[in-house]
Amino acid sequence: MHAPAELADIAADVLARIRDRSPRVHCITNTVAQNYTANMLLAAGAVPSMTISPEEIVSFVAGADALLVNLGTFDEERRRAVTIALDAVATARMPWVLDPVFIERSPGRAAFARELLARGPTAVRLNATEFGPLFGGDPADEAAARVAEACGTVVALTGDSDIVTDGAQRAVIANGDPLMALVTGMGCAGSALVGAALAVETDAWLATNAALIVLGVAGEVAAAATHGPGRFASWILDALHSLDRATLRAHIKVS
Amino acid sequence: MHAPAELADIAADVLARIRDRSPRVHCITNTVAQNYTANMLLAAGAVPSMTISPEEIVSFVAGADALLVNLGTFDEERRRAVTIALDAVATARMPWVLDPVFIERSPGRAAFARELLARGPTAVRLNATEFGPLFGGDPADEAAARVAEACGTVVALTGDSDIVTDGAQRAVIANGDPLMALVTGMGCAGSALVGAALAVETDAWLATNAALIVLGVAGEVAAAATHGPGRFASWILDALHSLDRATLRAHIKVS
Amino acid sequence: MHAPAELADIAADVLARIRDRSPRVHCITNTVAQNYTANMLLAAGAVPSMTISPEEIVSFVAGADALLVNLGTFDEERRRAVTIALDAVATARMPWVLDPVFIERSPGRAAFARELLARGPTAVRLNATEFGPLFGGDPADEAAARVAEACGTVVALTGDSDIVTDGAQRAVIANGDPLMALVTGMGCAGSALVGAALAVETDAWLATNAALIVLGVAGEVAAAATHGPGRFASWILDALHSLDRATLRAHIKVS
C-alpha cells in the first residue's frame, strides 16, 4: 500500500526518467490516434515510432524500449504486424501494453484481443465496456484483481476513476477531467504513456500508476485553463510537457 | 419555406438531441480527416467510430445510427468496405451521407461515386468542383434541385454559401468563415455532422440544414476569436461544444 | 553567395507566389503526418492532396505542381504508389522532394530510399541520422556538398541549423526553435513546404532555402507566444499564415 504522496513522487520520478532517457516507444495503433499519440509521447519526453509494415516492424521493435498494441482499426495487415512484433518483443524481453479498443463492437476483434492476452502483456489498459469481452464477467474491482493475477499482468481499468491492479496491489486514481473523454485518441495516448513508463520502471504496477497519474494531473491542469475539447487537446500536451513534482503532489487523488 | 428564426430553432433542437442521445456515427473516411472528424463528432455530442476493415465493418455499422462514406484516399480495400457497409445500412434502414471528395481529380473515384449515388444516400455533401463529375452539368441552383429530386436525396452544395435542397425545398446558408477552407478535413467533418443530425432527425432536409447551420455558426464564433487556421481548427470545436440557441438565432443567415 | 537580407526577400517572394498561385502539392506521406502536413500546406497557401492509392495516383500527380515522397510507414502498397508516381513525375517534368524518414531504423526502407535517390529528386530533406544510410559517410558540411553534386540534387540537412547545398552553393540556416522537434510530422511538413516552394521557384537551391527559412521564422514567431508543444503546433500554422517580409527580414539568421 502506497500513500498518495509516495505515488506522486514515484510519478514524478518516472516522468523525470522518461525525460532523461527518451525511451523509444513503438506504437501499433489505429490511424485515428497515431498523430495524437505521437505528440503525447513527445510531450512526455519519449520518442515515438509508428510503422505497422510487417516488412520492417521487427527492425523498429528491435530498436524500441517498449511496444504498444492498440486494436483500433483492426485488419489482416494489422494482425500480422502485431504477431510479428510480439515475437520480437518476446526475444527482446521488452515490456508491452495491450489496449483492446472497441472490442465490444466486434467479435473478431475481441477474439484476437484474447489471443494477445494469452501472450502476456505487461499491462492492459481498457475501459469498462471492453472488460467483459476480454476477461469475461463484470468490470468490478475484485474482478480486475482476479484477472490481473490470473493473467500475470497489470490491469488498468480506466473511467471516472482508474483502477490499477496486479492482483496483489491496487490503487484507485481519481485524477483527470471529463474533457479527456471528448478528445479522440486520449485513451490510446494514455496507453502509449504507460508504455513509456514501463520502459523506465521495471515495477509494472508502479509504472502504470505513474503514467495514469501524470496524464490525469496534466488533464486537470489543462482543464483549469480551457473549457472546450479543442483547446484542451493542445493544452494537456503543454501541461504534460511542463508538469513538475509540486503539481503532481498538489493534485494527486489516489486511494 | 422556413423563416431563418425557425431554422435556427430546428438547428438548436437537432444539436440538443445529438447531445442528449449521443448517436453513433460510423465513418468510412480518409486517413487525413479521421482524427479531426472524430473530434468534431465528439464536440457535437456524438460518438464516432472509424474502422474500415472489411472483416468487422458489418459489426460496427450494425451498432451505429448513421454512416458516413467519404471517398478521400480511395482504394480497393476502401471500396470493399463501403460496399459491405452499404449492404448493412440497407438492412438496418439507416441514414447515410455520401461525401465524394476530390472526384474531379480521379475518373475511377468519380465512377465509384456514381455507383454509390445509385444506392440512394440520404444526403450528399459536395462542393462545386465535385458536382459535375457526380451529377453531370454545372452546379447551378436549379441543377442541384433537379438532381436531388431525380436521385431522391438531399443535395448539400457547400461553398461561400451552402445550398441545401431535396428538389421540393431549398435553403441557402450564408454562415461560415473563409478560415474553414484552410483546415484540412473541415468539409469531411461537416459531412459527419450531417450524419449525426440524420441520426436524430428523420426529415433529411431539415437535418442537413441543421448540421450545416451549426457548423457555420460555430465557425463564425471561432473566427471572431482567432485569426489563423491553426488556432481556428481548435476554437471551432470549442464553439461547437458550447453552442447555444441564442447564438444560433443571433448568427443565422439563411435565405 | 547571398546576403541574409537577400535570402529573406527571396523567401518572402516565394511565399507570395505560393499564396498567389496556390500550387498543388501531392504528398505520399505517412498516416501520422498526413493531417499536419495538409494543414501546413494550406496555411502557406498551397493545396494539398494525399491519396496513395496506386489506382488513382497518376491522376493526382498529373494534376499537381510538385510531389513529396516521404518514406514513413513504408510498405508494399506505398512502394508501388511511389514508383507509379515517380513515373508520372518524370513524364510531367515536375519537381519532387524525397524525405527518407527513419531509414536508419530499417534496412529495407534505407535500400528503397537509395533506389529513389537514383531517380533524381529535386531536393532531399533529411536529418543527421538519416544521412549515412542514404548517402554513406558522416553528415558533415563537405559531405553534404559532395553528395548533392554527385546526385545532382539539393540536399537539405536539417537540425539545430539547416545546411542547404547543391554542391556549388551552400547556406546554413539557424532559424527555428527546439519546440519544432516536439511536434510530430514537423519535418515531414517542412518537406512538403519545400515541395510548394519548388512549384513556384525553378532555382531549386533558392526554393529549398526559402521554404526552410519561412518555416524556421514561423517557428520563432510561434515560440515567442507559446511555451509548450501542443499550442506551438497550432501557433506555427498561424505564424506561417500571416508571415510577412518584415518579419522574415527581422528574424533571418543565415550564413
* Dihedral sign computed on CA atoms, order B211, B214, B215, B216: positive
Does B39 contact chain C (CB < 8 Å)? no
Residue A74 to residue B52, Cβ atoms within 8 A: no
Residue A235 to residue C231, Cβ atoms within 8 A: yes
pLDDT averaged per 10 residues, chain B (length 255) = 90 98 97 97 97 90 96 83 95 96 92 95 96 90 92 95 96 97 96 98 98 98 96 98 98 96
Find the CATH number of the domain harbouring B75: 3.40.1190.20
User: Pick from B227, B238, B186, A35: which is nearest to C35 by CA?
Assistant: A35
Mutate to test the interface with A, among C29, C30, C31 (most CBs of A within 10 A): C31
String of DSSP letters for chain C: ---HHHHHHHHHHHHHHHHHH--EEEEE--TTTHHHHHHHHHHHT-EEE----TTTHHHHHHT-SEEEEE-SS--HHHHHHHHHHHHHHHHHT--EEEE-TTGGG-HHHHHHHHHHHTT--SEEEEEHHHHHHHHSS---HHHHHHHHHHHTSEEEEESSSEEEE-SS-EEEE----GGGGGSTTHHHHHHHHHHHHHHH-S-HHHHHHHHHHHHHHHHHHHHTT--SHHHHHHHHHHHHHT--HHHHHHH--B-
Instruction: Name the amino acid, one letter, at C48.
Output: P
Region C140-169 average pLDDT: 94
The answer to whether residue A64 is domain-embedded is yes
Q: At what angle do helices C229-241 and C34-44 cross, to 10 degrees?
A: 30
Amino acid C141: pLDDT: 80
Q: State the nearest Cα–Cα gap between C178 and chain A, in angstroms.
A: 12
Q: Which residue of B has its CA nearest to A230?
A: B234
Does C83 contact chain A (CB < 8 Å)? no
B chain contacts of residue C55, beta-carbon cutoff 8 Å: 74-76, 108
String of DSSP letters for chain B: ---HHHHHHHHHHHHHHHHHH--EEEEE--TTTHHHHHHHHHHHT-EEE----TTTHHHHHHT-SEEEEE-SS--HHHHHHHHHHHHHHHHHT--EEEE-TTGGG-HHHHHHHHHHHTT--SEEEEEHHHHHHHHSS---HHHHHHHHHHHTSEEEEESSSEEEE-SS-EEEE----GGGGGSTTHHHHHHHHHHHHHHH-S-HHHHHHHHHHHHHHHHHHHHTT--SHHHHHHHHHHHHHT--HHHHHHH--B-
Quote the pTM value. 0.97
- Which residue in B48, B55, B238 is closest to A227 by CB distance? B238
Residue B56 to residue A106, Cβ atoms within 8 A: yes
The answer to whether residue A133 is domain-embedded is no
Q: Which residue of C has its CA nearest to A28?
A: C73
Cell of C144: 553534404
Cell of C166: 547543391
- Over the stretch A14-36, which tens digit does the pLDDT of each residue have? 999 999 999 999 999 999 999 99
Of all residues in chain C, the percent with pLDDT exceeding 70 is: 100
Q: Which residues contact A11 (CB under 8 A, 6 or more apart)?
A: A209, A210, A213, A214, A217, A248, A252
B67 close to B61: Cβ distance less than 8 angstroms: yes
Residue A51 to residue C35, Cβ atoms within 8 A: no
Amino acid C208: pLDDT: 98
Residue A34 to residue C36, Cβ atoms within 8 A: no
pLDDT band per the 50, 70, 90 thresholds, residue A112: very high
Range of the domain at C30: 4-251
Of all residues in chain A, the percent with pLDDT exceeding 90 is: 89
Q: Give the Å distances, CA to CA, from B212 to A58, B47, B102, B122, B164.
A: 46, 18, 20, 15, 9
Domain count of chain B? 1
Q: Which residue of B has its CA nearest to A229?
A: B238
Amino acid C2: pLDDT: 83
The answer to whether residue A216 is domain-embedded is yes
User: Pick from C241, C215, C40, C56: which is nearest to C48 by CA?
Assistant: C40
Residue A72 to residue B50, Cβ atoms within 8 A: yes
Residue B237 to residue A229, Cβ atoms within 8 A: yes
Question: Is A74 a residue whose pLDDT tops 80?
Answer: no
Residue C72 to residue A59, Cβ atoms within 8 A: no
Instruction: Name the amino acid, one letter, at A191.
Output: S
- Which residue in B109, B184, B230 is closest to C235 by CB distance? B230
Q: Are strands B170-173 and B162-165 parallel, antiparallel or unpaired?
A: antiparallel
Which of left, alpha, beta for C125 (phi over 0: left; psi -120 to 50: alpha)?
Answer: beta
Tell me the Cα Rg of chain A: 16
Question: Is C249 a residue whose pLDDT tops 90?
Answer: yes
A chain contacts of residue B239, beta-carbon cutoff 8 Å: 228
Kindly provide the ipTM of the predicted complex, given to two decimals.
0.96
Q: State the nearest Cα–Cα gap between B94 and chain A, in angstroms.
A: 17
B243 close to B214: Cβ distance less than 8 angstroms: yes
Question: Is C163 a residue whose pLDDT tops 80?
Answer: yes
d(CA C82, CA C116): 9
Task: Give the number of B-C residue pairs with CB atoms closer than 8 Å.
Answer: 92
| Average pLDDT over chain C, rounded to an integer | 95
Amino acid A142: pLDDT: 87
Q: State the nearest Cα–Cα gap between C91 and chain A, in angstroms.
A: 30
- CA diameter of chain C: 47
Tell how far CA A140 is from the center of its chain. 20
C chain contacts of residue A55, beta-carbon cutoff 8 Å: 74-76, 108
d(CA A206, CA A254): 13
- Over the stretch C55-92, which tens digit does the pLDDT of each residue have? 899 999 999 999 999 998 777 888 999 999 999 999 99
Tell how far CA C108 is from the center of its chain. 22
Amino acid C74: pLDDT: 76
Amino acid B75: pLDDT: 78
Q: Which residues contact B99 (CB under 8 A, 6 or more apart)?
A: B29, B68, B69, B70, B71, B72, B124, B125, B126, B187, B188, B191
A chain contacts of residue C105, beta-carbon cutoff 8 Å: 49, 56, 59-60, 63
Angle C243-B184-C206 (CA atoms, 0-180°, nearest 5)? 40
Does A33 contact chain B (CB < 8 Å)? yes
d(CA A68, CA A66): 7
Does C73 contact chain A (CB < 8 Å)? yes
Cell of C55: 489506382
Q: Are strands B66-70 and B123-127 parallel, antiparallel or unpaired?
A: unpaired
d(CA C65, CA C194): 12
Residue C73 to residue A56, Cβ atoms within 8 A: no
Q: SS3 sequence, C54-77?
A: CCCHHHHHHCCCEEEEECCCCCHH
- Over the stretch C191-234, which tens digit does the pLDDT of each residue have? 999 999 999 999 999 999 999 999 999 999 999 999 899 999 99
Region A30-50 average pLDDT: 97
Does C73 contact chain B (CB < 8 Å)? no
Amino acid C1: pLDDT: 64
* Dihedral sign computed on CA atoms, order B220, B226, B232, B237: negative
User: Pick from C126, C134, C199: which is nearest to C163 by CA?
Assistant: C126
Q: Which residue of A has its CA nearest to B243?
A: A228
Amino acid C90: pLDDT: 94
d(CA A148, CA A155): 6
Residue A35 to residue C30, Cβ atoms within 8 A: no
Does C127 contact chain A (CB < 8 Å)? no
Does B102 contact chain C (CB < 8 Å)? yes
